[in-house]
Structure 1
Amino acid sequence: MLSLFHFIRPEWLILLPVILVLWWIIRPKKQAPELLTQGIAPHLAKALLVGADEKRRFFPIDTLALAFALLTIAVSGPTWSRVPNPLLAQTAPLIVSLKVTPSMETDDLQPSRLERASFKIQDLVARRTGAQTALFAYAGTSHRVAPLTQDPNIISSYLQGLSPAVMPIDGDRADLALAQAEIELARSESPGAHLFVLDDFNPANVNAFSENADERAPIVFLIAGPSTLEVPQLGSIPNSSVVHMTVDDKDLNDVERKVLSAYRKALLDDETQDWNDRGWLFAWPVALLVLLTFRRGWTMQWAVILLLMIPLPRAAHADGIKDWFLTQDQQAWRAYQNKDFSKAAELFQDPEWQAYSLYISGQYEESAAAYGRFDTAEAATNQGMAYLRHRKYRDGVRSFEKALEIDPNYEVAQHNLEVAQAIVKFVESTQAQSDTGEDTGIGADDTVFDNESGQGEDMVISQGDEAAAMTDEQWMRSVNTNVGEFLGTRFRLEASEASE
């Protein structure tokens, strides 16, 4: 932080020597007693020199000069960090690779190492609201379980189906998991990190982890085992750190801190982002110094001038005294940091931050409308994501197409467009194969679903039939499938394709 400290507007610092000179001129100077009593009879001078021996250390001009100096520093724009991009996740993407082997079923951690690791991953993903997380599983092979997503429910559902039985080949190929994880992380615009959750590490993988370690995203190893379990070979891997699993959240705090530090480090290297002006921090000590000028016997003329320079609050709001010290955006930022995203969305005056806060607070329709006010590829992509989360898949396709019109080389929009088109194709085929409603009359209380594609007939469902009154999304979720069997089948197919 000290190495990055600088001033955004350093030209204002030229006022500091001016303030110093004025302070030296105005500050009362101590005069010799004989000069004060010159021309006065000695017996009268002795009576008049009351308090001549008293030594006064501080004067009002001292306090005011210091206040003006701090204001000058504030106006100069001290900074040591950059402004985060609200169109990107505000925490680093995280690739979680979970070791799924028979050794992970050891019950020295209750109920087992694997289940305890799954609980920890679920807690971590839930804490990372607004951030993207991907999940990989590895043993003798490595497989992507879930791509980068902000939805913790997706990862939670797949974690429940992971067991050594679904892995095609037994072993410890963490190097394969790392290679796949790096490909996944490269798709993200934000810098990220790797998290490996394991109980042991094959020394044969050390070379793969050590190659080009300085260029790779940092790696955090979370040891799933008792506190006495040591994995010494991890200490030789550069750009990595080891965290032992704990019964409380200390381990998760450590992981989050290391991931965030990676994000902030890369953010500082991003020349496209503005520096975050921290001058407002100096307002608090200045306010305290101004209070000292109200002491009895202190001159008030400089205090009046200083107070006239302080702008009055624009209007009174429900937050009361907060508006005297914090702007709407500053109050919104505090709400955002406290993960009160709905309140942040209400308070933000910055349109980009407002749109992003609406998105992560679940107000997808409002977020899509807010992103529609921008004419950038990033905003159009985020609008498409909001439409997808709001189940407006075709609108999402249009937004991604708009993003590609603005920037044809924008890979994120291209990838999301392919996913959105696949969703639309699946929904349309489901509609085409479903009951067209020809055998059922449409009454006033019936529900008619959108059929924009024109494939099949409009889906008509009687409101009185509780079992049938489901949207396509609800119908898909109601299908009773065994996640473990699904993952096992998919992993075996992937392993056979890789061996060919």
Structure 2
Amino acid sequence: MPADTGFHFAQPVWLLLLAVPLLVAIWQRLTVSKRNDLPVDRYADPELLPHLLREHHPGRGQRLRRLLRWSMIWSVLIIAMAEPRWDFTELRLFQPRHDLVVLLDISQSMNAADVAPTRLARARQEVQDLLDKAPAVRVGLIAFASVAQVVAPLTEDHGSITRLLPEVNTTLVSLPGSRLVTALARAEHLLRGRSEEASRQILIISDGDFDESGLPEAVRDLRAKGIYVHALGVGSDEASPVPGPKGGWQRDGNGEIARSALNRDLLRGLAAIGGGVFRTAEYDDDDISAILQRVRASATGAGVERNVPSVRVWEEYYQWPVLLAALLLLPAFRVARALGKGGVGRD
């Protein structure tokens, strides 16, 4: 331990109040002297004076004992308020070195049940697996379909995203469609301005059933800005019917039941352009583990040590003077109890 771990007070200004008992003692001495000068013998016989005055004016020894006890109680409480400390643990400050924005597809095709229970439910579980396995990664969440909505900005509080996940579903967007370019732009906005030391990542969780062009160009532009793009495919290779928003099945322009299959080639190609990795969602966590391995590999280490002083967590000992004060107060409670029962108590 360093040499400066010795005993000290965190709030030493409180110690100035230790002088209060001394001031009280001086005040008592002055008032007793004045009281002794009163000509009380004019109003009672000298033989009766000790008996009359003892009831309201305790003797010198009794006053001294009372003052000493309350001075001790006052002093130990003031010492507790001053926060005595001794020894500390030094904690070095770290911040996550990886920023990851998850783009979660909530278009209608994600309600397909080719992956039990549905693609979207499986995708939400993948997000939860990621949160559980990546405590040192700052995570943000964007839900997208025809439009993109920021569910959670980049945060180290993964619990807040966990609480929001059950509410992320296809009803958040009323218009049909699945437009990834807009979602990529929103993700780039969240990652903008982050430290140059932190790796910036985007993870697309989708079935790849997009209805827009220009995706390769958008991903290529992100990679040129130093942002990695990964993809996690959800669904099966066999086309599955798409449930309608109000029940039944969704219909295409020809009136036929709309079907959707996992577009592996598109998602794999986007991940390749973005310098990331493509995996298919599985019921174990190997898929997320592989993606996180690539995320962490994009920068050395799991955290960035900032040029700030280390935090010292001191060992606090205020509880001991508080305990001593409680023990010193026990006689006062005994007297109060006796008085409550009709008895007479003396200090």
8 A contact 2:95–2:306 mirrored in 1:
no
2:100 aligned to which of 77, 91, 94: 94
Change in 2 beyond 3 A, CA 1:102/1:249: same
Change in 2 beyond 3 A, CA 1:261/1:201: farther
In structure 2, the residue matched to 1:231 is: 264
Matched to 2:149, the amino acid is: H
**1:108 is paired with a residue of what secondary structure?**
coil
2:203 aligned to which of 174, 181, 195: 195
**1:248 is paired with a residue of what secondary structure?**
coil
In structure 2, the residue matched to 1:214 is: 224
- 1:157 pairs with 2:163: yes
CA distance in 1, matches of 2:222, 2:309: 40
User: How much does 1:185 deviate?
Assistant: 1.3
CA distance in 2, matches of 1:196, 1:261: 18
Matched to 2:219, the amino acid is: F
CA distance in 1, matches of 2:123, 2:266: 21
- 1:247 pairs with 2:254: no
Change in 2 beyond 3 A, CA 1:212/1:123: closer
In structure 2, the residue matched to 1:25 is: none
In structure 1, the residue matched to 2:187 is: 181
CA distance in 2, matches of 1:210, 1:123: 28
CA distance in 1, matches of 2:309, 2:301: 26
Matched to 1:231, the amino acid is: R
8 A contact 2:105–2:205 mirrored in 1:
yes
8 A contact 1:220–1:241 mirrored in 2:
yes
Change in 2 beyond 3 A, CA 1:222/1:236: closer
CA distance in 2, matches of 1:146, 1:194: 14
- Of Structure 1 and Structure 2, which has the larger fraction of its residues in strand? 2
User: How much does 1:264 deviate?
Assistant: 2.6
8 A contact 1:147–1:184 mirrored in 2:
yes
Change in 2 beyond 3 A, CA 1:266/1:181: farther
Change in 2 beyond 3 A, CA 1:193/1:266: farther
Matched to 1:251, the amino acid is: D
8 A contact 1:93–1:191 mirrored in 2:
yes
Structure 2 gap ranges (5+): 1-91, 239-261, 316-347
The 5 Å alignment of 1:37-56 reads none
User: How much does 1:263 deviate?
Assistant: 2.8
CA distance in 1, matches of 2:181, 2:226: 14
Matched to 1:100, the amino acid is: I
Change in 2 beyond 3 A, CA 1:273/1:150: closer
CA distance in 2, matches of 1:235, 1:211: 17
Matched to 1:218, the amino acid is: Y
Matched to 2:125, the amino acid is: F
8 A contact 1:200–1:231 mirrored in 2:
yes
Matched to 1:261, the amino acid is: A
In structure 1, the residue matched to 2:121 is: 115
User: How much does 1:119 deviate?
Assistant: 1.0
Change in 2 beyond 3 A, CA 1:216/1:175: farther
User: How much does 1:273 deviate?
Assistant: 8.7
User: How much does 1:256 deviate?
Assistant: 0.6
CA distance in 1, matches of 2:126, 2:267: 21
Change in 2 beyond 3 A, CA 1:235/1:124: closer
User: How much does 1:257 deviate?
Assistant: 0.6
User: How much does 1:169 deviate?
Assistant: 2.4
The 5 Å alignment of 1:48-447 reads 86-89=93-96, 91-189=97-195, 190-202=198-210, 204=213, 205-211=215-221, 213-226=223-236, 229-237=262-270, 238=273, 239-264=275-300, 352=310, 355=311, 366=313
8 A contact 2:223–2:229 mirrored in 1:
no
User: How much does 1:192 deviate?
Assistant: 2.1
User: How much does 1:131 deviate?
Assistant: 2.5
User: How much does 1:230 deviate?
Assistant: 3.8
Q: Which runs of 4+ in 1 moved over 4 A?
A: none
**1:107 is paired with a residue of what secondary structure?**
coil
8 A contact 1:201–1:231 mirrored in 2:
no
Question: Percent identity of the aligned residues?
Answer: 24
Change in 2 beyond 3 A, CA 1:236/1:127: closer
8 A contact 1:132–1:150 mirrored in 2:
yes
Change in 2 beyond 3 A, CA 1:273/1:132: closer
In structure 1, the residue matched to 2:10 is: none
CA distance in 2, matches of 1:165, 1:128: 28
8 A contact 2:277–2:291 mirrored in 1:
no
The TM-score with structure 2 as length reference comes to 0.50
Change in 2 beyond 3 A, CA 1:261/1:86: farther
Q: Which of these two proteins has the greater Rg computed from alpha carbons?
A: 2
**2:279 is paired with a residue of what secondary structure?**
strand
Matched to 2:99, the amino acid is: P
8 A contact 1:101–1:139 mirrored in 2:
yes
User: How much does 1:130 deviate?
Assistant: 3.5
The TM-score with structure 1 as length reference comes to 0.35
8 A contact 1:92–1:192 mirrored in 2:
yes
8 A contact 1:122–1:152 mirrored in 2:
no
Which stretch shifts more, 210-219 or 163-172? 210-219
CA distance in 2, matches of 1:100, 1:261: 29
